Structure 1
Amino acid sequence: MFPIMLNVAGKLCVVIGGGKIAYRKVVPLLEAGACIHIISPEICEEMNKLWTEQKLKVSLKEAEQSDYEHAFMVIAATNSNEVNEHIHENTKENQLVNIVSDHKLGNFHIPSSAVRGRLVISVSTGGASPALAKKIKNDLLAQFDEAYECYLDFLWEARKKIKNGRLDNSEKSNLLAELIDEKYKDSEIERNRFMTRLQDMFNG
């Protein structure tokens, strides 16, 4: 499998199935800004809440090929292996397809992941053990506490200024390397000093 970070903002993602498993697939897609369409005769309480809040579209019916033929992403998450496999057989080669009942079908699977601001931690065991993937993710998450949220926002802003500044490549490389010093993660004062220093360099 080839790991990527995928921009799904504004993309149509069709999820066939309305149960707990489908719901777990939907939540991170919503957080990433995807346009979600649920196709299922029944939906769970959590999914119904999202529908009531108008966070996604729901069609209370059995899925037909026309429901997902134009989707950027298709997730088959029904409780029927036969239905899931039928959906897989009717998707197109250029669609992203995930079949929850069989990780060997489709062309991608969703890793266990967690978000700390701009930091995304994802772990996959290639289908061998989702439970182990979750454990490893939680172990990693414990190492990267909430301080990383502010730190990464600082890194984002500082990196933009450095990249756009009138400095030679060597100076830029040295500044970018300096940014990963622990003091900038732990101290807002140090982060402010660095940004002031950048401002002075570019105005000098």
Structure 2
Amino acid sequence: MAFTPMMIDLYDRHVVIVGGGKVALRRAKTLLKNDAVVTVISPKAVEDIVYLWTKGQLLWKEKYIESTDLKGAFLIIVATNDPIVNYNVINWAPEESLINAAADVEKGNVAFPSFFRRGDLSISVSTNGASPQFAVKMKKELECLYNEDYGDYVDFLSVCRQLIKESFLDRYQQKLLLKEILSEEFLDRERQRSFIESLNKNGKMIERVNQNDG
């Protein structure tokens, strides 16, 4: 099975996590960071899940899963160590629900890649379940390559893109400038500041575009 990479907005979406162990905790933390409404269903839960529940960050139902518990779930996380329970949850899932089967990715239709963020920059790695450890290894290497400076750099790109789109320049000229700021030279904050200043000064911008075009 090959999964299609995509980004998804989970804001205010109802997510049910079946299981209360370490995998369930990892999924819960990821989902909460993305403003999902999380319900954990398990007769037992690790201490950190209980803590999140006591803080009101998620709902914990201290019980065994029933089919009715899955009603209205946008996403269902199957994360128990009981194959029979996992099998039942997958078969009980409403047709419209997305399913992540933590123990056997191919039995669901959603996979959680290894990922990290630098501000608005998100980088993820997936092996379609073939080797989660290799995905983690690749993620660590990319984290070293794309350090915290890239969060500010992406903010800079966003500001420049908006200013350039609103400028008097034609599409070709805009494209030249957008290509220019992809240079690693612009990881330097002073160069970023200078470029944004030039965007707000018509004369300097015309001169810069002419140089690029030449």
TM-score scaled to structure 1, two decimals?
Answer: 0.93
Equivalent residue, structure 1, for 2:120: 118
Is 2:85 the partner of 1:68? no
CA RMSD between the two structures: 1.7
Which residue of structure 2 aligns with residue 159 of structure 1?
A: 161
Supply the distance in 2 between the matched residues of 1:6 and 1:57 (Cα, whole angstroms).
Answer: 22
Task: Check the 8 A contact 1:85/1:99 in 2, yes or no.
Answer: no
How far, CA to CA, are the matches of 1:180 and 1:35 in structure 2?
37
Decide which of 93, 96, 100 is 1:94's aligned counterpart.
96
Contact 1:40 1:63 survives alignment (8 Å):
yes
Once the two structures are superposed, residues 154-194 of structure 1 have per-residue CA deviations (whole angstroms, 9 ceiling, x without a partner) of: 11121122223333111111111011111211x21111111
The TM-score with structure 2 as length reference comes to 0.89
Residue 5 of structure 1: aligned partner: 7
Structure 1: distance between partners of 2:168 and 2:67: 54
- Shift in Å, 1:103: 1.2
Q: Tell me the alpha carbon deviations over residues 111-157 of structure 1, each in whole angstroms, 9 at most, x when there is no partner.
A: 11111211212111111111111001111111111111111111112
Q: Secondary structure at the match of 2:144?
A: helix
Per the alignment, residue 38 of structure 2 pairs with 36
Structure 1 equivalent of residue 172 of structure 2: 170
CA distance in 1, matches of 2:19, 2:82: 10
Distance 1:34 1:164, change over 3 A: farther
Q: AA paired with 1:195?
A: I
Partner of 2:211: none
The count of corresponding residues between Structure 1 and Structure 2 is 203
Structure 1: where are the runs of 5+ without partners?
Answer: none
Identity %: 35
Amino acid at match of 1:189: E
- Answer whether contact 1:77 1:84 (CA < 8 A) is retained: yes
Please tell me whether the aligned partners of residues 16 and 38 of structure 1 are also in contact (alpha carbons under 8 angstroms): yes
Structure with higher Rg: it is 2
Which amino acid is 1:46 matched to? D
- Deviation of 1:65 after TM superposition, in Å, equals 2.0
One-letter code aligned to 2:9: N
**CA distance 1:166–1:39, change in 2 (3 Å):** farther
The structure 2 residue matched to 1:84, chosen from 75, 86, 96, is 86
